């Protein structure tokens, strides 16, 4: 019953033939980003900054999701990535996990990726903010920018209407 599970995850059913009991399936990064984008919209609905994140295992199974709650909780450390990280709970290893975020991770969240050794980071967009993506790449982290217009426009509109909150979020005066 592998096919129904792959279909449920939104993964392609026409993957290469299994080798030694393994299934080689490329993750559906767009479907993963959709989870993070739903979180970003939830954050905006709550009155916060629209940045969402989600963590998946290599097979595409969702482990945790979250969104930026700095405004809602008055907690400067509650970025989307940290919320997803906390919701994913303890993991034996993070090397094969995929961090998906609607925006390029800031230096704080890039440090989380580095500290725990995530192997892949998928970002929705890096037009509004580049954060630590070049640094992560220099460390060998696989960074995939999906260049989502939807992610970029959602955050750009928020920045336009809330510049002081945005500047606070990224540590600018």
Active site residue 157: no
At 144 the three-state DSSP class reads: strand
Q: What is the pTM of this model?
A: 0.84
Residue pLDDT, tens place only, 53-86: 999 999 999 999 999 999 999 999 999 999 999 9
pLDDT above 70: residue 2: no
User: Token pair of 113, please?
Assistant: 């990726």
pLDDT above 60: residue 1: no
142 C-beta neighbours (distance < 10 Å), count: 12
35 C-beta neighbours (distance < 10 Å), count: 17
Q: Please state, in angstroms and rounded to a whole number, the distance separating the CA atoms of residues 49 and 69.
A: 7
Contact 34, 150 (CB under 8 A): no
The one catalytic residue among 39, 81, 147, 172: 81
């Amino acid at each position: 019953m592998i096919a129904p599970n792959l279909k449920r995850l939104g993964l392609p059913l026409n993957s290469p033939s299994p080798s030694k009991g393994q299934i080689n399936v490329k993750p559906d990064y767009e479907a993963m980003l959709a989870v993070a984008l739903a979180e970003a919209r939830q954050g905006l609905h709550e009155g916060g900054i629209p940045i969402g994140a989600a963590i998946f295992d290599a097979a595409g199974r969702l482990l945790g999701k979250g969104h930026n709650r700095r405004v809602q909780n008055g907690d400067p450390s509650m970025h989307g990535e940290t919320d997803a990280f906390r919701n994913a709970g303890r993991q034996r290893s993070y090397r094969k996990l995929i961090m998906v975020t609607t925006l390029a991770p800031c230096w704080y969240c890039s440090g989380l990726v580095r500290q725990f050794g995530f192997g892949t980071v998928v970002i929705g967009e890096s037009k509004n903010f580049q954060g630590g993506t070049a640094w992560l790449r220099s460390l060998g982290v696989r960074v995939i920018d999906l260049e989502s217009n939807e992610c970029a426009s959602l955050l750009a509109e928020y920045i336009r209407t809330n510049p002081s909150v945005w500047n606070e979020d990224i540590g600018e005066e």
